[in-house]
Amino acid sequence: MTPKRRKDTGKGRADELIARMKKARGYIYPEWEFAARQDPEFVEIYNRIYELGLGEGKHVSAKVREFVAIALLAFRGSDRAGLVAHMKRAIRLGATREELFEVLETCLVPGGAPTFHRGLGALLEVKAEGESPC
Protein backbone atom coordinates (compact mmCIF):
# COMPACT_ATOMS: atom_id res chain seq x y z
CA MET A 1 0.00 0.00 0.00
CA THR A 2 1.34 3.40 -0.97
CA PRO A 3 1.56 5.96 1.84
CA LYS A 4 -0.70 8.95 1.38
CA ARG A 5 1.09 12.17 0.56
CA ARG A 6 0.18 15.32 2.37
CA LYS A 7 -1.31 17.81 -0.06
CA ASP A 8 0.22 21.15 0.87
CA THR A 9 -0.32 23.61 -1.93
CA GLY A 10 0.52 26.58 0.27
CA LYS A 11 1.75 29.59 -1.68
CA GLY A 12 4.70 30.14 0.67
CA ARG A 13 6.03 26.62 0.26
CA ALA A 14 5.72 26.79 -3.52
CA ASP A 15 7.36 30.23 -3.68
CA GLU A 16 10.30 29.05 -1.56
CA LEU A 17 10.76 25.95 -3.72
CA ILE A 18 10.61 27.97 -6.95
CA ALA A 19 13.16 30.46 -5.60
CA ARG A 20 15.47 27.60 -4.53
CA MET A 21 15.22 25.96 -7.96
CA LYS A 22 15.91 29.26 -9.78
CA LYS A 23 18.92 29.96 -7.58
CA ALA A 24 20.43 26.50 -8.08
CA ARG A 25 19.83 26.33 -11.84
CA GLY A 26 19.81 29.96 -12.88
CA TYR A 27 16.45 29.34 -14.53
CA ILE A 28 13.17 27.49 -14.08
CA TYR A 29 10.85 26.37 -16.83
CA PRO A 30 7.31 27.78 -16.54
CA GLU A 31 5.97 24.22 -16.56
CA TRP A 32 7.93 23.36 -13.40
CA GLU A 33 6.83 26.58 -11.73
CA PHE A 34 3.22 25.65 -12.48
CA ALA A 35 3.78 22.12 -11.15
CA ALA A 36 5.39 23.48 -7.97
CA ARG A 37 2.33 25.61 -7.33
CA GLN A 38 0.03 22.62 -7.90
CA ASP A 39 1.97 20.07 -5.83
CA PRO A 40 5.09 21.36 -4.06
CA GLU A 41 5.77 17.98 -2.43
CA PHE A 42 5.98 16.22 -5.79
CA VAL A 43 8.28 18.89 -7.26
CA GLU A 44 10.48 18.84 -4.14
CA ILE A 45 11.06 15.12 -4.74
CA TYR A 46 11.78 15.75 -8.44
CA ASN A 47 14.15 18.58 -7.47
CA ARG A 48 16.08 16.25 -5.17
CA ILE A 49 16.55 13.79 -8.05
CA TYR A 50 17.66 16.71 -10.26
CA GLU A 51 20.19 17.81 -7.63
CA LEU A 52 21.57 14.28 -7.29
CA GLY A 53 21.78 13.80 -11.06
CA LEU A 54 23.10 17.21 -12.14
CA GLY A 55 24.79 18.46 -8.98
CA GLU A 56 28.30 17.76 -7.76
CA GLY A 57 28.97 14.04 -7.77
CA LYS A 58 31.47 11.96 -5.82
CA HIS A 59 33.66 11.54 -8.90
CA VAL A 60 32.12 13.68 -11.65
CA SER A 61 31.71 17.44 -11.38
CA ALA A 62 28.44 19.25 -11.97
CA LYS A 63 30.04 20.87 -15.04
CA VAL A 64 30.77 17.48 -16.61
CA ARG A 65 27.29 16.25 -15.71
CA GLU A 66 25.90 19.27 -17.59
CA PHE A 67 28.02 18.26 -20.60
CA VAL A 68 26.33 14.85 -20.54
CA ALA A 69 22.89 16.47 -20.21
CA ILE A 70 23.62 18.81 -23.14
CA ALA A 71 24.70 15.91 -25.34
CA LEU A 72 21.60 13.89 -24.48
CA LEU A 73 19.24 16.84 -24.95
CA ALA A 74 20.78 17.64 -28.34
CA PHE A 75 20.47 13.99 -29.38
CA ARG A 76 16.87 13.72 -28.19
CA GLY A 77 15.84 16.81 -30.13
CA SER A 78 15.29 19.09 -27.17
CA ASP A 79 14.02 22.55 -27.88
CA ARG A 80 16.66 25.25 -28.19
CA ALA A 81 15.62 26.95 -24.95
CA GLY A 82 16.40 23.82 -22.95
CA LEU A 83 19.82 23.45 -24.53
CA VAL A 84 20.61 27.12 -23.99
CA ALA A 85 19.55 26.90 -20.32
CA HIS A 86 21.85 23.92 -19.72
CA MET A 87 24.72 25.55 -21.61
CA LYS A 88 24.37 28.70 -19.53
CA ARG A 89 24.37 26.62 -16.37
CA ALA A 90 27.51 24.82 -17.54
CA ILE A 91 29.18 28.21 -18.08
CA ARG A 92 28.16 29.31 -14.58
CA LEU A 93 29.82 26.10 -13.37
CA GLY A 94 33.06 27.05 -15.13
CA ALA A 95 32.68 25.72 -18.68
CA THR A 96 33.91 27.70 -21.65
CA ARG A 97 32.22 28.06 -25.02
CA GLU A 98 35.20 26.13 -26.46
CA GLU A 99 34.45 23.21 -24.12
CA LEU A 100 30.80 23.31 -25.12
CA PHE A 101 31.82 23.23 -28.77
CA GLU A 102 33.97 20.14 -28.12
CA VAL A 103 31.05 18.47 -26.36
CA LEU A 104 29.01 19.03 -29.52
CA GLU A 105 31.86 17.70 -31.68
CA THR A 106 31.80 14.56 -29.56
CA CYS A 107 28.09 14.15 -30.39
CA LEU A 108 28.66 14.12 -34.15
CA VAL A 109 29.68 10.49 -34.65
CA PRO A 110 27.30 8.73 -32.23
CA GLY A 111 24.47 11.27 -32.61
CA GLY A 112 24.75 12.39 -36.22
CA ALA A 113 24.86 15.76 -37.93
CA PRO A 114 21.35 16.80 -36.76
CA THR A 115 22.49 16.46 -33.13
CA PHE A 116 25.61 18.53 -33.82
CA HIS A 117 23.60 21.16 -35.71
CA ARG A 118 20.94 21.39 -33.00
CA GLY A 119 23.64 21.96 -30.41
CA LEU A 120 25.40 24.56 -32.54
CA GLY A 121 22.18 26.52 -32.91
CA ALA A 122 21.87 26.69 -29.14
CA LEU A 123 25.54 27.55 -28.67
CA LEU A 124 25.16 30.50 -31.03
CA GLU A 125 22.66 31.95 -28.54
CA VAL A 126 25.01 31.53 -25.61
CA LYS A 127 27.29 34.52 -25.38
CA ALA A 128 30.01 35.15 -22.88
CA GLU A 129 30.01 38.61 -21.31
CA GLY A 130 30.87 41.21 -23.95
CA GLU A 131 31.46 38.58 -26.62
CA SER A 132 29.84 38.24 -30.04
CA PRO A 133 28.24 34.83 -30.74
CA CYS A 134 30.78 33.89 -33.42
Find the CATH number of the domain harbouring 109. Answer: 1.20.1290.10
Mean pLDDT calculated for residue range 64-75 = 97
- Cα separation, 100 vs 94, in Å, equals 11
- Claim: this prediction has a pTM higher than 0.85: no
**Domain match, 46 and 69 both:** no
Is the CB of residue 37 less than 8 Å from the CB of residue 8?
no
pLDDT bracket for residue 6 (50, 70, 90): low
Q: In a 3-state reduction of DSSP, which class is residue 27?
A: coil
Is residue 6 in some structural domain?
A: no
Task: Centre a 10 Å sphere on the Cβ of residue 96 and count the other Cβ atoms it contains.
Answer: 11
pLDDT at 127: 78
**Domain match, 30 and 74 both:** no
Q: How many domains does the chain have?
A: 2
Mean pLDDT calculated for residue range 96-113 = 96
Question: 85 is in which domain, residue-wise?
Answer: 58-127
Please determine, for residue 5, whether its predicted confidence score (pLDDT) is greater than 60: no
pLDDT at 11: 84
pLDDT at 26: 86
